[in-house]
Amino acid sequence: MKLPGGDLFTLLFFFIGVTLVGIGYGLYHSRQQLIRKGIATQGLVIDLHRVKPHEYPLAPSIRYRTADGQERVFHSSLGRNPPAYQIGEEVTLYYDPKQPDRVQLQGDYLLVYVLGGIGSIFLLLSVWSVPEALRAVWQWALG
């Protein structure tokens, strides 16, 4: 019996979609937990830095104070073009009181949206054919 390549491709698309949506949900959930259990504070954008050398997307560096008065700087790893923040802008952020360097900017869900969106497209392109593909692969595997 011939290898069901198209059906394997359909299942691969489906599993990629499930994985991306799952990662997006995991990020969303962990960020929501930090917002719920963390401490809200105001921060000041003090600089915009390149996430990768010689590339334009700029990410903010934000100075903030913890509840015990310590001053810290958070260097975001999510850059945007054009930048989402301006130097001197005040922003709300949440930090973990047990790990003050663990920070979430208010409303910063771009990565969640990207992963969820791409994963959803993979799922929509494959979900209708999954039962059929599973049957074909199962029949091929059993000979």
Give 44-82 pLDDT, tens digit per residue: 999 999 888 777 889 999 999 999 999 999 999 888 888
We find that the CATH architecture of domain 39-95 is Beta Barrel (2.40)
Strand ranges inside the chain, DSSP E: 39-50, 58-65, 71-75, 90-95, 103-105
Query: What digits encode the pLDDT tens for the residues 10-39?
Result: 999 999 999 999 999 999 999 999 999 999
Please give the model's pTM, rounded to 2 decimal places: 0.78
Angle of helix 5-37 relative to helix 110-126, nearest 10 degrees?
150
Give CATH 2.40.50 domain extents, the chain. Answer: 39-95
- Please give the single-letter amino acid code of residue 118: I
